[in-house]
Structure 1
Amino acid sequence: MGEHMTPRERVSAALKGEPVDRVPLCFWHHFNPEGSGERLAEQTLHFFRDTFHLDIIKIMPDIPYPGPEQPFLEARQIRFLPRLDVDTTPEFQQQLLCIRKIRAEVGPDSPIILTLFSPLTYLMFFFGPPHARTINIARSDPQVFEEGLGTLAANLRKLMEAAIDAGADGIFYSCMGATTADFTLDEYKELGWRYDLQALRGAEKGWLNIAHIHADPQQSSDQIYFEFFDRYPVQALSWSDRLTGPSLSEALTLTDKCLMGGLFERGPITQGGETEITNEIMAAITQTKGRRLILANGCSVPDDTPERWLQFARSQVDSLQH
């Protein structure tokens, strides 16, 4: 290990559990690109590269998947989800434009990941809140529900392949529904895992694929099916370890994958102060001994988070470099 690692070297070493000059750091919030891949690239570069010099550039899902204009009300509407082609879907083209522009700007040493949601998550979006609506449809009309999951998985697979070819290093793959408050584990295996495998085949060439296990902060009793995600074909697992179990130290015993977490998205990095931020960073590093860890928030920080707290977190991580 040299005295100073590039972001790519640092993240790659963390994935393998090898020594790093300091723990890799990433945090994020949403942008408003108004459908423009070029604008999203500019906003992303300003935040991740120019302002905070983060180790991973995470392209947010702010040019959304082309879903229905109005929430679905009944199962039969799922049948109208179209098969999409990358070359003729404007939203996909804009995401790929964003990837290419960022890669051209940062060169090979900065990891880039594209944020996408799982097929099950998209259907939960399409039916809208509460989650119970989607869950009821899945249970009452599973054949039609799974038709939609298959369509979405096929579309996502093509987009992922194109994203990696355009210069992304991997996919940040966000999964809802994998909690005790939503589907049973057996249901999740059929409706989540099965179609996730189909979609993630598109990311096979990526070296930085991350599964994000999403828990709703409003459902404080949630327990995520963390151990189940050890079988996902990804290099790292992301979750809100400060919101729901397991802790980082527990997670080290449950998977050999790299862990992405340690910072509470509604905690010190958004509210301060300096002592609390320092304590949270050091607790994450202590739990993992700084190995197999990408220090990150568990979910997006609020868009209006004061920059001073994010900058302080950045400076504290820098101070750990040796």
Structure 2
Amino acid sequence: MHKRERIWAAIRGEPVDRVPVALWRHFPYDDQTAEGLARAVVDFQLQFDFDLVKVTPTSGYPAEAWGAELVHADNSNGTRNYVRRPVQKPADWRQLPVLDVEQGVLGRELQALKLIRPGLGPEVHVLQTIFSPLTIARNLVGDVVFTHLQENPADLHAGLEVIAEVTGTFARASLEAGADGIFFATQLAAQDRLPEVDYRRFGLVYDRRVLDRVARRADVIVLHLHGIGIYFDLVTEYPAQIVNWHDRLTSPSLGAGSERVQGAVLGGLDEWAVLRGGKPEDVAAQVADAMAQTGGRRVIIGAGCVTPVDTPVENIRAAREAVESQT
């Protein structure tokens, strides 16, 4: 099987020659130019030969496109720190401009895709990382977004309208630039962030606006539910073929989750305790457990989120090799 066939067989629950596997990471400093990011993504894939490629642009890139300022830090997950956020008061939501996605930061990320696609060839799915509008809104203002949600909902809705419009346009443009699909990440659909009723009002409705722009054109959509106590039942309301979450840190387990989705689940590896902090045999053991939970069906081995940048190479290699030995 080639990689596309393997991914789609996993989604459909059909037999695979081996269980697919995919890991991804940030590339600090390299990710400040289209050429640098493209080179890093292609080199990472050529080194480990994963079954799909998630392009991970510089952290906070949508907020940066609207004027946020971030600086590099020694964060193990490869993210940057915010030093200035463009939304300072509720009325600022109504001043967010509709961005030209071909220019500035967003244009840079599209250019990276145009370079990545020929570097990897047609055999492997390439997915662009797209953040949910409410996640972007939080990055534009910080945690005060939760206060605005309660006290200034009309202002926040006005901002979310613009964010959803631009994000949907950027997602479509990503497909045109060479991506096969998107990795749609929401960081607030969780009990430790918002009541579910609030996520439905301020999150889900705008998520669907973005996804409806690409659902018919994207070959694959991965839904990433970030956090603890996630609202897993929301997956039925998203047009995603693959679902990813921190299955080693929060419920449901990978096996239980696989029984609640129609496509495939992506996970099984704890990116911090095992991938970064463990030994190759620990990685192999988690891969074996993930396959036992799912019977090796409708599953793609991966981590709950980005692989830390200081993860030992031998552990990444162990994840890739484990699917061969477990087949």
Calculate the TM-score normalised by the size of structure 1: 0.91
Task: Give the secondary-structure state (helix, strand or coil) at the position aligned to 2:272.
Answer: coil
**For residue 172 of structure 2, what is the aligned residue in structure 1?**
161
Equivalent residue in structure 1 for 2:190, among 163, 179, 185: 179
2:201 counterpart of 1:190: yes
User: Which residues of structure 1 form unaligned runs of 5+?
Assistant: 216-221
Q: Which amino acid aligns with 1:19?
A: P
2:290 counterpart of 1:284: yes
Partner Cα separation in structure 2 for residue 78 and residue 161 of structure 1: 24
Q: Which amino acid aligns with 2:129?
A: T
Partner Cα separation in structure 2 for residue 296 and residue 60 of structure 1: 15
Is the alpha carbon distance of 1:234 and 1:144 closer, same or farther for their aligned partners in structure 2, counting shifts above 3 Å?
Answer: same
**For residue 45 of structure 1, what is the aligned residue in structure 2?**
42
* Conserved 8 A contact 2:134-2:202: yes
**For residue 90 of structure 2, what is the aligned residue in structure 1?**
75
**For residue 200 of structure 1, what is the aligned residue in structure 2?**
211
Q: Deviations over 1:150-175 (max 9, x none)?
A: 10110011111111122211110110
Measure how far apart 1:122 and its partner are: 0.6
* Conserved 8 A contact 1:178-1:185: yes
Shifted more, 57-66 versus 295-304: the winner is 57-66
2:105 counterpart of 1:98: no
Q: Which amino acid aligns with 1:141?
A: N
Q: Deviations over 1:133-155 (max 9, x none)?
A: 22111111000101111101100
Residues 232-251 of structure 1 mapped to structure 2, 5 A cutoff = 232-251=238-257
Partner Cα separation in structure 2 for residue 162 and residue 68 of structure 1: 21
Partner Cα separation in structure 1 for residue 280 and residue 183 of structure 2: 29
Residues 1-322 of structure 1 mapped to structure 2, 5 A cutoff = 5-32=1-28, 33-48=30-45, 50-62=46-58, 64-65=61-62, 66-69=65-68, 70-71=84-85, 72-87=87-102, 89-128=103-142, 131=143, 133-204=144-215, 205-215=217-227, 222-321=228-327
**For residue 218 of structure 1, what is the aligned residue in structure 2?**
none
The sequence identity of aligned pairs, in percent, is: 32
Q: Deviations over 1:221-253 (max 9, x none)?
A: x31100112220111111000011100121122
Q: Deviations over 1:178-217 (max 9, x none)?
A: 11111111111111110001111232211211110010xx
RMSD value, Cα: 1.4
Partner Cα separation in structure 2 for residue 22 and residue 320 of structure 1: 8
Task: Give the secondary-structure state (helix, strand or coil) at the position aligned to 1:262.
Answer: strand
Task: Give the secondary-structure state (helix, strand or coil) at the position aligned to 1:260.
Answer: strand
Partner Cα separation in structure 2 for residue 85 and residue 281 of structure 1: 43
* Conserved 8 A contact 1:61-1:116: no
Calculate the TM-score normalised by the size of structure 2: 0.90
Measure how far apart 1:34 and its partner are: 4.8
* Conserved 8 A contact 2:222-2:244: yes
Give aligned pairs, total: 306
Measure how far apart 1:68 and its partner are: 2.9
Is the alpha carbon distance of 1:35 and 1:275 closer, same or farther for their aligned partners in structure 2, counting shifts above 3 Å?
Answer: closer
Measure how far apart 1:30 and its partner are: 0.6
Q: Which amino acid aligns with 2:88?
A: L
Partner Cα separation in structure 2 for residue 309 and residue 283 of structure 1: 16
Q: Which amino acid aligns with 2:181?
A: G
Partner Cα separation in structure 1 for residue 324 and residue 90 of structure 2: 51
Task: Give the secondary-structure state (helix, strand or coil) at the position aligned to 2:268.
Answer: strand
Task: Give the secondary-structure state (helix, strand or coil) at the position aligned to 1:135.
Answer: helix
Task: Give the secondary-structure state (helix, strand or coil) at the position aligned to 2:124.
Answer: coil
Q: Which amino acid aligns with 1:24?
A: P
Q: Which amino acid aligns with 2:226?
A: H
